[in-house]
Structure 1
Amino acid sequence: MDRNLSSVPESAKNSSSSGRLASGTIQVFLAEALLLPTGLLTAAFLTRQLGPESYGLFLLATSLVSWIGWSITSAFTRTTIKFIGEAEDWQPVATTVLQLHLFLGVSAAVIFWFVADPVANALGEPRLNNYLRSFMLEVPIFCVTYVHRSVLVGLGKFSERAIATATRWITKMILTIALVAAGLSIWGAIIGSLFSALIELFVCRFYVRPPVWKRSQIQMQKLWGYAVPLFLMAISLRLYDKLDLFMLKLLGGTAAQAGYYGTAQNLSVIPGIFTLAFVPLLLSTLTRLLREQELKKAQEMSKNAMRLVLLLIPFAGLAAGASSEIIKLLFSDTFLPAAPIFSILIFAAVAMAMISITTAILTAASRPNWTIALTGPMVPLAIAFDLWIIPKFGTLGAAIVTITVSSLAALATIFALYHLWKIFPSLLSLGRSLLIAGLVYGLANIWETPNWLVIFKLLILGLLIPLGLLILGEFSDREIASVRSILKRFVSNLVP
């Protein structure tokens, strides 16, 4: 195998790695991006059917359950991808991680069954207890499914990973809307989510079947050496992810305020969708490059990944400028108080995207301990600021704390990468992105459009963003040619 690789020209290998990463990212991103239309359609339906108070209760239950599931899976996702990418025989690694996820998922569901009452009472919503108990059944399903996702990415099966994800988002929308429309209210939304998670698991098992009960012998010390710090990082980030919503509620916020804030949070998921698609593939590709001792190529790819996050800033500016119209279109006038919150949280989501990418690079570079050292302080810092700011400024105060702490943590991880590899995101790219963001924010804010015409406004201004970056010289001739080549390859794969 080494002889075959050595016979391939260096430029061809580099182009193949970048092309495969880009093509895989497009496929997985399109699958994950289905969360946006399906999620927005579902949210628009639920807000109208349930109203702010009931929708706020549903969001509280969803946020808590998803936090537990993501905390468990995030602990081992990067470890699984890295170890499977490095292993000659992937099944022992997959089986071990699968058994761990199954045990942790079931344990979490059982424990939470008994603590649902005090948790609901602490949040000031006793009605939440049975919703939480039922929703927690999704945690073990989600955990087991996510192991299969990680195995597919580690094996380079990006298309199969995309199909499984797309299946879940589509079925979740259909089942949720159908069951709620049938009169099941919040219970219908919970049941729809549970069954869509099961369907995704069946699709994953169709493509890859790691043994569930087989005993495996792997170097557990090395596995835990990565898993423990990444688990702590995952706990920290998951705590931080919904901390502002729960702190708002604990500090006297109403269920309606929680509904407004949760709506703004859900709407600011686009940068998160990008990282959800891109980060696992980036980690898998960097792991393979470093295994082949391609350090310079890994450094170049990492620098471009950080630059890519900077290019999300203009799109965040566009969304912020049109926030009121977007909220009004999707959720009705009732949810307009969510607009200023969304205008802040969308930029915080970009900062979190940078954190996801930089910590993935540190993981690939065998620095898992650095990730928790850099992200661990986020939760206590945010709690301290929340206790001070939220009582004075309410929902806007919670959003301001979120963007402040996220930005500080993003800067810390960037400087850590500079210390490790002497790489830094382009300041020119940052300047161009901020300039375009300011322009599109102003245009979106001034240009008022009625009802559904806001979609055309977003499309037109969205197309002006890459055009503006192109005019400012952001993209080189080589990058433009590479994009054309990747798009041609992607289209040719879709069309028989």
Structure 2
Amino acid sequence: MQPAGPGRGIAQLFAARAGVMLAGYLVAVLLARGLGPAAYGTYGLVLSVLIWLEITATAGIAAAMTRLLAQHDGAAASLERTGRALLGAVTAALFAASWLAAPALARLFGVHEGALLFRLAVLDLPLAGLYVGYQGALLGRRRFGVWGVALGLQGAARLGGTVLLVLWRPSVAGALVVNAAATTVALAYLVAIAPPGLGRPSAPWVRRLGREAVPLGLYLVAVQGLASVDLWCLKALGTVPAPVVGLYVAAGNVARLLLAVPTVLAAVLFPSLARAVAARDEAGARAHLATALRGALAVLLPAAALLAVHAEAVMTALYAPAYAAGARYLALQLAAFVLFALLDVGFQALMATGALSRAATVVAALVPAALGLNLVLIPRAGALGAAAALAGALGLGAAAALALLRRRFGVALPLASVVRVGGATGLVAAVGARVETPLGWLPVELAALGAAYLILLRVVGEARGERR
């Protein structure tokens, strides 16, 4: 298969990731309905630990492989072998450590039969190492179509396995096995399409990959920890019943829908920003950033507001009436993930300019602050305290990211845009709060309010990018 061009490649990756995200949310809804709040909270906790472990083991190395392959096409075979060997060694070591630590994790989080559940979860770790090795190699070679098919297979396998599990006998253990099986399906396809080459890793490439991977890996590990420490503390402190943890996890899944915004921006904006910086086109870089910040605000603010004013209906429609009480946590979590998206846009923009270490250091420094907020607020306010701590920590991060962007590029969120977007959002949210719609008509109401918001943006000039 021939490498795809940049535009076609971005379209392929976006379509594949959109499909995987949709499949992931369908899986979340099916499991929430099938398991019930208490067991779903346990599943969400175990999965969040697994995701953090996988990011710790793989993310920085895969991204470094992609960048280096794009720069050193003639040494691709040696670089790929080295990257895969490094990923295999790191994930194998972390798998062994996690397997041994499973009983301690179960005690820390107070999970019944937790050692078994954590061990079932980390079965995916070595598989993820091989899988992500293909990601780094295929994206570096611009074989976006192959990687897109693999993503689609993984999402479809996970969704299909979850449907069968829920119809047969839903359980947390079964859901974790399905997760590992889905990775296996995608990995089998990749091995059949592009068998891994044999040979010894290269010591120079190990050193180069390490230098490239550590700052980005530290950023990704820290930012994932920042977004997860609220749930970990909520469960570890044991101050709320298990069903409340499940409601909190379900509400958090809704709020995380907002993270689609920085994902899209990362694919579209930051290659352009990196090119502008490399060409010393400061005016072009500032224009790209200003467009990204205004666009992010224009999408995030109304989405969060409309979901917040319909929180109980959204939780009931997505999950079940048993999850309606999770609406009380959703507004704060939505605010938190608006801030998270701005944080991620800001720091990824800085990393696109080569400031990897600075971004990683700032985000890592926020993790102790987040931990402190959770330890103070959760004993006093339970799950609401966890959501408030999440919003507070991510607010600090967003403020730091925007301040660094202003210092580096002289770019900030235009006050006029904040006023226009805020005014339009407030108006449609106020209307939405006063209109009572039957549950089955909720999507129609949200679509109508969204259309009204776009018209308002057009009327006030924000949709045309007018400066006033």
Same fold (TM over 0.5): yes
- Aligned counterpart for 1:110 among listed residues 96, 101, 119: 96
Give, in whole Å, the separation in 2 of the partners of 1:241 and 1:198.
Answer: 27
Please give the secondary structure, in 1, of the residue aligned with 2:314: helix
Alignment of 1:35-46 (within 5 A): 35-46=20-31
Change in Cα spacing, 1:261 to 1:321, as seen in structure 2 (3 Å) is same
Q: Which secondary structure does the structure 1 equivalent of 2:171 belong to?
A: helix
Name the structure 2 match of 1:238. 224
1:72 paired residue number: 57
1:266 and 1:50, CA in 2 relative to 1: closer, same or farther beyond 3 A?
Answer: same
**Map of 1:486 onto structure 2:** none
Deviation at 1:422, TM superposition (A): 2.6
1:135 equivalent in alignment to 2:121: yes
1:56 counterpart (22, 34, 41): 41
Q: Deviations over 1:290-314 (max 9, x none)?
A: 5555554344323322333212221
Q: Once structures 1 and 2 are overlaid, which stretch shifts more, 107-116 or 67-76?
A: 67-76
Instruction: Note the alpha carbon deviations across 1:458-485, whole angstroms, 9 max, x for none.
Output: 222223333322222123389xxxxxxx
- When residues 121 and 439 of structure 1 are mapped into structure 2, their CA distance, relative to the original with a 3 A threshold, is same
- 2: distance between equivalents of 1:443 and 1:315? 14
1:84 pairs, out of 43, 52, 69, with: 69
Q: Identity across aligned pairs (percent)?
A: 23
Task: Output the CA distance in 1 between the equivalents of 2:198 and 2:227.
Answer: 31
Do 1:82 and 1:284's aligned partners in 2 also have CA atoms closer than 8 Å?
Answer: no
Corresponding position of 1:279: 266
- How has the CA–CA distance of structure 1 residues 149 and 80 changed in structure 2, closer, same or farther, with 3 Å as cutoff? same
How far residue 418 of structure 1 moved from its aligned partner, in angstroms, is 2.2
Secondary structure of 2:343's counterpart equals helix
Q: Which amino acid aligns with 2:90?
A: L
Partner residue in 2 for 1:414: 402
Alignment match, 1:351:
339
- In the TM superposition, residue 103 of structure 1 has moved relative to its aligned partner by 1.6
Pairs within 5 Å for 1:304-343: 304-311=291-298, 312-343=300-331
1:326 Cα deviation from its structure 2 partner: 0.8
1:123-202 aligned within 5 A: 123-183=109-169, 185-202=171-188
> 2:264 matched to 1:264?
no
- Per the alignment, do residues 33 and 448 of structure 1 end up closer, same or farther by CA in structure 2, a change over 3 Å counting? farther
Cα distance in 2, alignment partners of residues 26 and 359 from structure 1? 24
SS at match of 1:125: coil
Decide whether aligned partners of structure 1 residues 411 and 193 sit closer, same or farther in structure 2, where only a CA change above 3 A counts: same
Length-normalised TM-score, structure 1: 0.84
Q: Secondary structure at the match of 1:268?
A: helix
Q: Using the TM superposition, name which of 176-185 and 56-65 deviates more.
A: 176-185
| Cα distance change, pair 20–436 in 1 and its aligned pair in 2 (3 A) | farther
CA, structure 1 residues 129+459, in 2 after alignment: closer, same or farther (shift >3 Å)? same
The CA distance in 2 between the partners of 1:391 and 1:153, in whole Å, is: 45
Contact kept, 8 Å, 1:98 with 1:212, in 2: the verdict is no
Whole-angstrom distance in 2 between the partners of 1:97 and 1:361:
26
Residue matched to 1:470: 458
Q: Does the CA-based 8 Å contact 1:71-1:238 persist in structure 2?
A: no
The alpha-carbon distance between structure 1 residues 357 and 90, as it changes in their structure 2 partners (threshold 3 A), is farther
After superposition, the Cα gap between the structure-2 partners of 1:441 and 1:61, relative to the gap in structure 1 and judged at 3 Å, is same
| Contact 1:86 1:288 (C-alpha < 8 Å) held by counterparts | no
For 1:218 and 1:302, the matched residues in 2 are separated by 36
Distance in structure 1 (CA, Å) of the matches to 2:151 and 2:428? 32
- Larger mean Cα displacement after TM superposition, 433-442 or 370-379: 433-442
TM-aligned CA deviation for residue 259 of structure 1: 0.5
What amino acid is the match of 1:345?
A: Q
Q: Does 1:459 align with 2:447?
A: yes
The 8 Å contact of residues 457 and 463 in structure 2, kept in 1 or not, is answered as yes
**Residues 49, 396 of structure 1: alpha-carbon distance in 2 compared, 3 angstrom cutoff:** same
Q: CA 1:264/1:360 → structure 2, altered by over 3 Å: closer, same or farther?
A: same
Structure 2 residue identity aligned to 1:149: Q
Report the secondary structure of 1:269's partner residue. helix
* Alpha-carbon displacement from aligned partner over 1:65-122 (angstroms, at most 9, x marks no partner): 1111123333334434433343343624443333222222122111111111111011
For 2:185 and 2:368, locate their aligned partners in 1 and report how far apart those are by CA, in whole Å.
38
The amino acid that maps onto 2:221 is: I
Alpha-carbon distance in structure 2 between the residues aligned to 1:382 and 1:310 = 24
Q: Partners of 2:273 and 2:190 in 1: how far apart?
A: 24
The range that moved more, 95-104 or 124-133, is: 95-104
Distance 2:279 2:202 in 1: 27
Aligned CA distance change for structure 1 residues 220 and 50 (closer, same or farther; 3 Å): closer
Q: 1:321 & 1:90 partners in 2: Cα distance?
A: 55
Contact 2:82 2:205 in 1 (8 A): no
TM-score normalised by L of structure 2: 0.89
Cα 1:330/1:194, change in 2 over 3 Å: same
Residue 218 of structure 1: CA displacement?
4.3
Q: Is 1:423 the counterpart of 2:411 in the alignment?
A: yes
- Which stretches of structure 1, 4 residues or more, deviate above 6 A after TM superposition? none
Tell me: CA distance 1:298–1:102, structure 2 relative to 1, closer, same or farther (3 Å): farther
Aligned partners of 1:304 and 1:425 also within 8 Å:
no
User: Are residues 262 and 284 of structure 1, via their aligned partners in 2, closer, same or farther at CA, if it must alter by over 3 Å?
Assistant: same
Q: Specify whether residues 283 and 352 from structure 1 end up closer, same or farther in structure 2 by C-alpha distance, changes over 3 A only.
A: same
- Greater CA drift, 185-194 or 109-118: 185-194
Query: Which 10-residue stretch deviates more, 42-51 or 293-302?
Result: 293-302
Cα distance in structure 2, aligned partners of 1:160 and 1:451: 40
Tell me, in whole angstroms, the C-alpha distance in 2 between the residues paired with 1:85 and 1:282.
18
Q: Does the C-alpha gap of structure 1 residues 147 and 428 become closer, same or farther in structure 2, counting only changes over 3 Å?
A: farther
Q: Which whole-Å CA distance do the structure 1 matches of 2:348 and 2:189 have between them?
A: 27
What is the CA distance between 1:198 and its match in structure 2? 2.0
- Give 1:444's aligned residue: 432
- After superposition, give the CA deviation of every residue in 1:217-247 in whole Å (9 maximum; x if it has no partner): 6455554333222222222112112110111
User: Which amino acid letter does the alignment assign opposite residue 53 of structure 2?
Assistant: I
1:329 Cα deviation after fit: 0.9
Superposed CA RMSD in Å reads: 2.8
In 1, Cα distance between equivalents of 2:58 and 2:321: 37
